[in-house]
Amino acid sequence: MAQYANREEAGSDALVKETTMATFAADVLTESVRQPVLVDFWAPWCEPCKQLRPILEKVVKSAGGKIKLVAMNIDEHPQIAARLGVRSIPAVIAFQKSQPVDGFIGALPESQIRGFVERLIGPVGVSQDLKAEAEAALAAGDAAAAGELFAALLSENPDDLSALSGLVKSSVAAGDLATAENLLKQVPPGSERDPALAAARAALENAVQAASVGDVAELMRRISAEQNDHAARFDLAIALNARGRREDAAAALLEIIKRDRDWNEGGARKQLLQFFEAWGHMDPATIAARRKLSSLLFA
């Protein structure tokens, strides 16, 4: 397989390039301070890697310089992949502000890769204005308007998984969990790993959990009476998240991890990771809580 450096203009401004252990810090960690950088871990013997690469290049180039792509041959440079826990390839990990923030494994189709990139930099392509409007409406809490816009996008392109995930999230935000569940049942086979759909599924699961937990005031009373009542603190995190109090929800789970990281077979950490997936890896609450989680786990 031809290396990236042979097919793309060399230099730090190239959108697509190859990296090594010696250049990884400059190509990825430093560069990701300016814009997101995708790192494609590959090997010459990997056939799915050969299928994935041209799709990655196409999507990155269509983003107009808002994101870069860097490839690393794990046969020649295995250390970084090992540190990041990469156990199979192709594996793509997104870096922003010198930190890994998202990723996927396998040769995904173009629609899913485009959706993955859009989670990092915003909409790419013809429908970007409409999609941006839909995302803004959802972020502002206007679930009805967001749902209409995502439905319009989906009617234009039934294969747009990011629009489908947006419609699921809009249904969850509107409290229509049954519709959200039915929409997820329509996911085409082989698309289950799509990051946007995973986020929508996590949002639905969190909403279902929230419906079964107790009253916030009662949960806080239980915790006040017994600081190590981790079950109450866990339910409180679910309830707070359902009310949009993401920072407080994360803080409750982090407190459990601080007191007993193995409680309920690591249940607090697993729930926190599900929150990250539902909120989006670039959400300020996710970034802040992920930093605190790393401090607790690797202190």
Q: Is 49 a catalytic residue?
A: yes
Cβ atoms of 187 and 195 closer than 8 Å: no
State the DSSP H helix or E strand holding residue 18, giving kind and residue range, or none if neither.
strand 16-18
> Given 38, 39, 49, 149, which residue is catalytic?
49
Give the Cα separation of 40 and 160 in Å (integer): 23
Closest C-alpha among 49, 41, 164, 180 to residue 111 = 164
Sole residue written with tokens 């996927």: 104
For the record, the structure tokens of 281 come out as 């890896």
Cβ atoms of 102 and 112 closer than 8 Å: no
For the record, the structure tokens of 217 come out as 């005031």
Q: Is 248 a catalytic residue?
A: no
CA 81 from chain center: how many Å? 19
Which residues, 6+ apart, have CB-to-CB distance to 254 below 8 Å? 268, 272, 289, 292, 293, 296
DSSP state of 263: G
* List of E strands, 21-167: 37-42, 68-73, 91-96, 99-105
Strand partners, 71: 18, 40
> Given 16, 38, 39, 46, which residue is catalytic?
46
| Residues designated as active site | 46, 49
